[in-house]
Every structure is written in C-alpha cells, then in structure tokens.
Amino acid sequence: MTSESQAKLGATPESNVEPGPPITTAPRRIEIVGTAQLGNDGYWIGLENSDGWVETWSRDEDAYALRLKGDSMAPAIRSGWVAVCEPNHRLVPGEYVMVTTTDGQSMVKELLFESEDSVSVMSVNSAYERRTIDWADIEKIHYVGNILAPSKILSRI
C-alpha cells in the first residue's frame, strides 16, 4: 500500500521513529555578571551588583551571562548583546567560547580547534586576525550556549 492510499484510508505509514519526551522545562533567570570586550584588547569588567538578567534555557547550573562590547564578532554578534556562558558544557569546535587569559583579557571568539598545547580562536569580523593561545595562558574557557539581543535584558540596577 502506498503512503497516498494509506492517507486516504486514514492509516499512518509505519515508522521506526519513537517520539521523544516532551520539552517541559521553563527558561530560567541567568544573571549578567560583567562585560567582555569583542576585540583584540579583551577585558572583563566584574560588576559589584548585577547588571540585570536574562531568561533563557540552560541545563548548566553554573551558567552566567556577559554583556558584550566591541566589533570583532560583527555582524554575527553586535556590541551590547549578551552571551550566556556554560562552564560545565564541553567545548565545541565551530561554536563560540568565552576565553579569559592569565593577563586578564576576556573575549568571545569562535573556537577553531584545541590541541594538547593551545587553542585556536578567531573573530567573525575579518579585520581581526586568528589567534592561538597556549593553555598555560588561559585562566578559563567556557562554552557560549546562547547569544541574546539587548532587548532580552529584563532589569538593570
């Protein structure tokens, strides 16, 4: 029986795909804890009080958000947008990461690859060069799970 004749008879074609569980988790509040520069002169400004929050989905209980400034990731990410960082998520080549170096620079870049000795990252904006950073020079590197527009910031203090 063809799928067309099955549809006419009200029968459904057989499938080996089982439906997954429904998605029922709600978005949660994730605090904006600082600012990361999108450029070669990266830095992180820690805020004493929250600079607001965003509501989004994240399975990482330690997730935090950063306001982004600069143009190194334009046009994909614009100045003023928010990155939701997930420190417990694995790093994924081709996706965004937040890197803080031992000299205090914080930046959001695309992760190209990681080796035993270093990571290679690049900006979306072609005016900026690709950068290789030794693991010894990295204080932390966190997966960026979401990028949100400034309109998604719910409160400012």
Domain with 51 in it: 27-152
- Residue 10 lies inside a defined structural domain of this protein: no
- Residue 14 lies inside a defined structural domain of this protein: no
Give the whole-angstrom CA distance, residue 65 versus residue 150.
Answer: 12
In this structure, are residues 30 and 64 in contact, taking their beta carbons and an 8 Å threshold? yes
pLDDT at 34: 83
Domain count, the chain: 1
Could you tell me how far CA 116 lies from the centroid of its own chain?
23
- Residue 8 lies inside a defined structural domain of this protein: no
- Residue 58 lies inside a defined structural domain of this protein: yes
- Residue 19 lies inside a defined structural domain of this protein: no
Cα 53 to Cα 28, 74, 104, 139, distances in angstroms? 10, 23, 24, 25
* Average pLDDT of adjacent 10-residue blocks, the chain of 157 residues: 54 76 80 76 55 89 89 81 95 94 87 96 85 96 94 76
Both structure tokens of 153:
């910031």
- Residue 1 lies inside a defined structural domain of this protein: no
In this structure, are residues 112 and 124 in contact, taking their beta carbons and an 8 Å threshold? no
